Amino acid sequence: MLDPQRYELSRRFLREIVVNLSGRHITVADEKQPNFVTLEHLNADGTSSLYAVFFEVKKDSSRRRRLVLRVQSAYLLDKGLTRRQAKGGKVAFETLLRATYLGKPIRG
């Protein structure tokens, strides 16, 4: 079932977050998959809500020299960061793209 809050947040924020990934902090959410997350602080009223965007980057299997970024999920983290998310290593977007293209693992 469609969650109206998740849908509205995705409509308002998701495109801009993805377009600006090169300037954002990216955390290795799970190095085995690999899975990455970037966080956005949303509230302008002084309170803090974390909007998490989980994504992966893979080589395109049908076209050479092309990478595919797929957003896996995006939602508010009501309970804050999990222990794994808080301790995950950081990676620059350019480093993530280069490592994916060259087939090198990203360590978190």
pLDDT tens, 21-49? 999 999 998 878 888 999 988 777 777 78
Cα(35)–Cα(25) distance, rounded to whole angstroms? 14
More confident residue, 47 or 13: 13
Nearest-angstrom CA–CA distance, 46 and 31: 33
Reduced to 3 states (helix: H, G, I; strand: E, B; else coil), residue 67 is strand
Model confidence pLDDT, tens digit, residues 60-82: 989 988 999 999 999 999 887 78
- What pLDDT is attached to residue 85? 80
Q: How confident is the model at residue 108 (pLDDT cuts 50, 70, 90)?
A: low
